[in-house]
């Protein structure tokens, strides 16, 4: 039987997984697995982020990025490898490229409020004095997306034949990142490198990514047959995709989907685009060694064993955020 190739991201309702109805839960898991084996992205309704809170964060973020560059650069902290605070224009590039992406962004990380010793691994978050609401709004969004991600990983665990709570301890106080992004306007396209794009094709580093709706089109996902498909998170939906860590841990049973943000038409290069992904990471000590159930004679082990922390360090160097 030939594979069905989606022209859009399949939409699922997380309430089917959380309602207590076992038949609906089973179907959600099966549909999620099918989507991740096909297009690699899925749109999720009934998550824990409200549209009002999303709109509030976008308002805060737009106000921050509208500040003068000299003000924003106060929050770019050397030595943090871009893991907290502001990261300036063109600083990050896709793995395998040298040209920086046409974007600037801000990183909000995990805040540990109990005595978990992993607190010592995380630098303190950096908050802009000029936008006092930034902290409270960003942390509330962070917690709600993190909660949604836990349920998504539980569904993924069941699909993989693992205990439902397999990922829970691994992502408790995980090294997750909320990243508001500003794809800044280009007033003079001739002034940027000819191969510069908003975000070159790449896979995400983490376990899964949860993306709220962006302010403009541009995101495209590479379908299994090599066709690029435009995707947009609709109101009340999050788009959730598999990242490189989960691909590695499942020995490519679940594939990290290649995606990109293309430049708008030349006449619209002077317009901005905003996007806010949540990159769900595990704790640094989690082993990404291939799960035994994902290795066989037909599918031999593809990568050597590595921890999430070691893998993250490698990738931060490859994308230009950390010195090798």
At 277 the pLDDT is 93
Q: Which pLDDT score is estimated for 5?
A: 59
Band of pLDDT at residue 144, cut at 50, 70 and 90: very high
Q: How confident is the model at residue 112 (pLDDT cuts 50, 70, 90)?
A: very high
CA 128, CA 135: separation in Å to the nearest integer?
8
Beta-carbon contacts of 271 under 8 Å, excluding residues fewer than 6 positions away, are 185, 216, 264
Q: Compare 235 and 239 and report the one with higher pLDDT.
A: 239
- Check: CB of residue 209 under 8 Å from CB of residue 280: yes
Q: Poorest-confidence range of 22-31, 138-147, 172-181, 213-222?
A: 213-222
Phi first, then psi, for residue 199 (nearest 5°) are: -155, 110
Residue 306 backbone phi and psi in degrees, to 5: -160, 150
Range of weakest confidence among 4-13, 43-52, 121-130:
4-13
Structure tokens at 141: 């969004």
Query: Is 3 a residue whose pLDDT tops 60?
Result: no
**pLDDT bucket at 316, cuts 50 / 70 / 90:** confident
- Mean predicted confidence (pLDDT) in 17-27: 97
Q: Is the pTM of the predicted complex or chain greater than 0.85? A: yes
**CA atoms of 130 and 48, how far apart (whole Å):** 28
Superfamily for the 11-318 domain: B-lactam Antibiotic, Isopenicillin N Synthase; Chain (2.60.120.330)
Q: Is the pLDDT reported for residue 235 higher than 90?
A: no
- Measured distance CA(288)–CA(4) in Å, rounded: 30
Residues in the chain: 324
pLDDT, tens digit (0-9, with 9 covering 90-100), for 43-100: 999 999 999 999 999 999 999 999 999 999 999 998 887 899 999 987 766 666 666 7
Say how far apart CA 184 and CA 175 lie, in whole Å.
27
């Amino acid at each position: 039987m030939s594979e069905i190739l989606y022209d859009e991201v399949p939409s699922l309702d997380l309430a089917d997984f959380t309602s207590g109805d076992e038949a609906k839960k089973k179907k959600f898991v099966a549909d999620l697995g099918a989507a991740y084996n096909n297009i690699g992205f899925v749109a999720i309704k009934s998550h824990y982020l409200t549209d009002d809170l999303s709109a509030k964060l976008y308002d805060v973020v737009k106000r921050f990025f509208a500040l003068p560059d000299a003000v924003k650069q106060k929050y770019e902290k050397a030595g943090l490898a871009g893991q907290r605070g502001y990261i300036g224009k063109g600083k990050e590039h896709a793995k395998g490229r040298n040209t920086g992406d046409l974007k600037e962004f801000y990183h909000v990380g995990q805040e540990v409020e109990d005595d978990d010793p992993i607190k010592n691994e995380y630098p303190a978050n950096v908050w802009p004095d000029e936008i006092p609401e930034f902290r409270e709004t960003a942390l509330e969004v962070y917690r709600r997306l993190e909660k949604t991600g836990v349920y998504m990983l539980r569904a993924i665990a069941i699909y993989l034949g693992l205990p439902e709570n397999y990922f829970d301890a691994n992502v408790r106080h995980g090294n997750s990142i909320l990243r508001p992004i500003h794809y800044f306007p280009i007033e003079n396209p001739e002034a940027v490198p000819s191969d510069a794009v908003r975000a070159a094709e790449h896979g995400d580093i983490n376990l899964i990514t949860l993306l709220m709706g962006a302010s403009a089109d541009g995101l495209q996902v590479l379908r299994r047959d090599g066709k690029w498909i435009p995707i947009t998170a609709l109101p009340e939906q999050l788009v959730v995709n598999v990242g490189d860590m989960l691909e590695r841990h499942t020995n490519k049973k679940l594939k990290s989907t290649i995606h990109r943000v293309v430049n708008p038409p030349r006449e619209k290069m002077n317009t901005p685009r905003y996007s806010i992904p949540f990159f769900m990471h595990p704790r640094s000590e989690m082993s990404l060694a291939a799960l035994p159930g994902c290795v066989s004679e037909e599918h031999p082990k593809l990568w050597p064993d590595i921890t999430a922390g070691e893998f993250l360090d490698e990738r931060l160097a490859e994308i230009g955020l950390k010195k090798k």
